[in-house]
Structure 1
Amino acid sequence: MYKAIYSYNHADWYVRKVLTQAKAYAASQPSAPDSNADVGSNAIVQAAYSQLGVPYVWGGGTINGKSGGGFDCSGLTSYAVYQGTGHKVKLPRTSQEQRHVGASVPRDEMQPGDLIVFNKDGWGHVGIYAGGNRMIDAPKPGKSVEVISLAGYWENYAWDIRRVGWASDEMGDLR
């Protein structure tokens, strides 16, 4: 692998950087549908899990399901929270807006059904914590809704954990 990358760019620093990124990406690959995801106890997780395999579509997804043939990250979370709360909680449309709803939760107190919002330099991404250090995610074009590990790649970004919906009685009306 080292030789192949080096043949593309004859710089040792570049090869190390590519191999480090490849290792982090490999650690975040989807797990099998029978993964450690805690599907049984949380309706938000169940709603998101039911969409495994649905294609990523930029701007796709509403509170009622996929649109344009699929979901983007915030479309998936909007759908899962709305469905999982019995149609009581509507999230804002974008991950950046979802970053401000519900209650902030320390990372070591995450529970299945919490949103994990990642932010870096003007972009955002959001997924649903599934338990077992895993997230249900609509990742990017060319991929589908999947369960991924939070180890590796995602550890490089700031996390904002938001508890919405399933504990909404503690937070008031989020609609």
Structure 2
Amino acid sequence: MSRLEALAARTARLDASLREDAPRWIGIPYRWGGTTRRGIDCSAFVRQYVRDNLGIALPRTTADQRYEGIAIGRDELRAGDLVFFRRRGVRHVGVYLSDGEFIHASSSRGVTISTVESGYWDRHYWMSRRIIPAPPAGDLPTPRSIVRRDSTGARG
């Protein structure tokens, strides 16, 4: 299997894993500043969803999450990437799944899956960040096996 084929297989597994967890979140209401299943905002949702599914610790706010990982182009999106939107200074974040879809906590619909290319999201797309580190050649971790270390070397 070539490295490109291995990466495609890894991305497909990651997408399947993220989509498998989605139903337990869909419909949870949006609450600004909320961090629980009784009500959650977009950055708290992304933080929890990413920690549960990828084992990566993210900061609490969208303002801080926008600096995580590396910047990528919209045409480079893969499952597990963060997608950011901005409208009139208000920032929003979600987790990219595949096929143009992302999961997020919408202020009008609660946690839902939307399409990046749909009118509203397309118009307000801002940037994307890849938070999953690139594996060394020949070492392709599976979803949920990726753990980020903080600056002290402790697992996060």
1:6: which partner in 2?
none
Distance 2:133 2:58 in 1: 14
Query: What is the TM-score normalised by the length of structure 2?
Result: 0.69
Amino acid at match of 2:14: S
User: Which has the higher mean CA deviation after the structures are superposed, 96-105 or 46-55?
Assistant: 46-55
Q: Give the aligned partner of residue 83 of structure 1.
A: 52
Equivalent in the alignment of 1:59 = 33
In the alignment, the residues of structure 2 paired with residue 50 and residue 110 of structure 1 have an alpha-carbon distance, to the nearest angstrom, of: 24
Corresponding position: 1:146 with 2:115: no
Q: Is 1:167 equivalent to 2:133 in the alignment?
A: yes
* Alpha-carbon distance, 1:168 to partner: 6.5
- The reply to whether residue 111 of structure 1 matches residue 82 of structure 2 is no
> Unmatched 5+ residue regions in structure 1?
1-37
Q: As a proportion of its length, which structure holds more strand?
A: 2
CA-CA distance at 1:47 after TM superposition: 4.0
Counterpart residue identity of residue 115, structure 2: S
**Residues 48, 77 of structure 1: 8 Å contact kept:** no
The count of aligned residue pairs is 128
**Contact 2:14/2:80 (CA < 8 Å) preserved in 1?**
no
Measured after TM superposition, the shift of residue 152 of structure 1 is 1.0
Please give the residue correspondences for 1:21-40 in structure 2 after superposition, counting only pairs within 5 Å. none
The 1:153–1:75 alpha-carbon spacing in structure 2 relative to 1, beyond 3 Å, is same
Q: Which amino acid counterpart does residue 80 of structure 1 have in structure 2?
A: Y
Segments of 5+ residues of structure 2 without an aligned counterpart are 1-10, 137-147, 151-155
- Measured against aligned partners, the alpha-carbon deviations of 1:93-134 in whole angstroms (never above 9, x if no partner) come to 111211110111111010011110113443200011121111
- Report how far residue 46 of structure 1 moved: 4.2
Partner of 1:74: 43
Q: Is the 8 A contact 1:39 1:49 kept in 2?
A: no
- Please tell me the residue identity of whatever aligns with 1:157: H
The structure with the largest alpha-carbon Rg is 1
Tell me which stretches of 4 or more aligned residues in structure 1 moved more than 2 Å: 38-50, 119-122, 166-170, 172-175
